[in-house]
Amino acid sequence: MTEVTAVEARNAVKAFGQGEASVRALDDVSIKINKGEFFTLLGPSGCGKTTLLRLIAGFEMPTSGTILLEGADITYLPPNKRPVNTVFQSYALFPHLTVAQNIGFGLEMQGRPRAEVKATVDRMLALVKLEPMANRKTSQLSGGQQQRVALARALAPAPKVLLLDEPLSALDLKLRKEMQIELKRLQMETGITFVFVTHDQEEALTMSDRIGVMSAGKLQQIGTPREIYTKPVNRFVASFIGETNFLPARRDGDALRLGEGHLIELPAGVPEGRAVTVTVRPEQVRLVDASEAGAIPATVQSLVYFGTDTHCHMALADGTEVVARLQSSATGEAALAQGQKVAFRFAAGAVQVLED
């Protein structure tokens, strides 16, 4: 089935300041976001993700480039003329209005009939599971409930695209995880295109259909969460998405030779003799018996307990560090100790060669 593009940026550039003092927050970014998908812009602070969101919303104009919504050029259309709504970090609710009045406020400003406003508000209250709170003031609600009101208010006019600028950052960890599930449920039930901005890799992996990883104003990689995690295109993406091991290596015949001489599997496309960096996720590092073929000897440097997992930090003879993520229930506290001699192997297909 052919995907329909909801939002497209073509060669978008946004520079702040002039002359030599100018800063490019966006540097020739082109991206297509499909209709009905949950798309996340992920990256560290200052990478350009919020700037791109603001160009889509109309709060900023690009220095050059084009923004399209379902094929129509909206580059210089004012925000109130775009069928797009935004949910911010601060919920910006009206404290003197009830929950129902907050949700219906935008509809009333559009001059919608009273019966339509009430029906839509009732539907939104049910969608975000706040029917019992309809007549409460927003100041009487918890942070998670206020976030749901903000979402319901943004969804009420049925925008073609909903933009979310780190809306969960003010919530505590447990509530944030609950709201991740709620956000994905809302997106699936409404079918509205969600464009979500975050610096939290777990949020991105948990909720997204696709992720665009950004750094220094550029898109580094676009793909599904699994593609981004298992096949990062460069060192930045590999290091920003989850934990990983970086190991220097060089092709030696039909294998890759690690710095101190151990041979590991050879991924496709590595030229003979070329020095490369390989990445292996910690969960793909297996402790094995030292006598096993291909086992690499190492010394345990430290053990970090995370409840379900224990991270075993090891060092090769040349000092290169390798981390293995082990299930705590399988290892036990007494199974490993600092200074212990161990051996490990990488799971088949786990090694990825990176572009530096």
Cα→Cα distances 335→12, 233, 291, Å:
54, 36, 18
User: How far is residue 194's CA from residue 335's CA, in Å, rounded to a whole number?
Assistant: 46
pTM for the model stands at 0.88
If we measure between CA atoms, which residue out of 132, 140, 138 comes closest to residue 151? 138
Strand order in the sheet with 5-16: 23-34, 5-16, 64-69, 72-73
Q: At residue 228, what are phi and psi to the nearest 5 degrees?
A: -60, -40
Contacts of 333 (CB under 8 A, 6+ apart): 305
Q: What is the pLDDT of residue 58?
A: 96
User: How far is residue 269's CA from residue 235's CA, in Å, rounded to a whole number?
Assistant: 17
Tracing tokens 């086992």 back to the chain, one arrives at: 295
For residue 15, what are the β-bridge partners?
Answer: 24
Quick count: other Cβ atoms within 10 Å of Cβ 34? 14
User: How far is residue 215's CA from residue 26's CA, in Å, rounded to a whole number?
Assistant: 10
Same fold, 5-238 and 244-354: no
User: CATH says 5-238 is which class?
Assistant: alpha beta
Looking at 110-172, list the stretches that DSSP marks H as alpha helix, in order from N- to C-terminal side: 114-127, 143-155
For residue 221, what are the β-bridge partners?
Answer: 213
Q: What is the pLDDT of residue 334?
A: 55
> Architecture of domain 244-354 in CATH?
Beta Barrel (2.40)
If we measure between CA atoms, which residue out of 129, 90, 75, 83 comes closest to residue 106? 83
Residue spans per domain, the chain: 5-238, 244-354
Q: What is the pLDDT of residue 303?
A: 92
Structure tokens at 256: 């890759």
If we measure between CA atoms, which residue out of 186, 36, 184, 64 comes closest to residue 126? 186
Q: What is the pLDDT of residue 3?
A: 78
> What are the 10-residue block averages of pLDDT along the chain, 356 residues in total?
87 89 92 97 94 96 96 95 89 89 91 93 91 91 88 91 88 84 90 94 93 96 95 92 89 77 73 81 92 89 90 90 84 73 87 75
Q: What is the pLDDT of residue 348?
A: 76
For residue 247, what are the β-bridge partners?
Answer: 278
Q: What is the pLDDT of residue 331?
A: 47
Break the chain down into helix, strand, coil percent, rounded to 5. 30, 35, 35
What is the DSSP annotation of 252-287? ETTEEEETTS-EE---TTPPTT-EEEEEE-GGGEEE
If we measure between CA atoms, which residue out of 29, 68, 33, 2 comes closest to residue 194? 33
Label the pairing between strands 193-198 and 38-42. Answer: parallel
Q: What is the pLDDT of residue 223?
A: 97
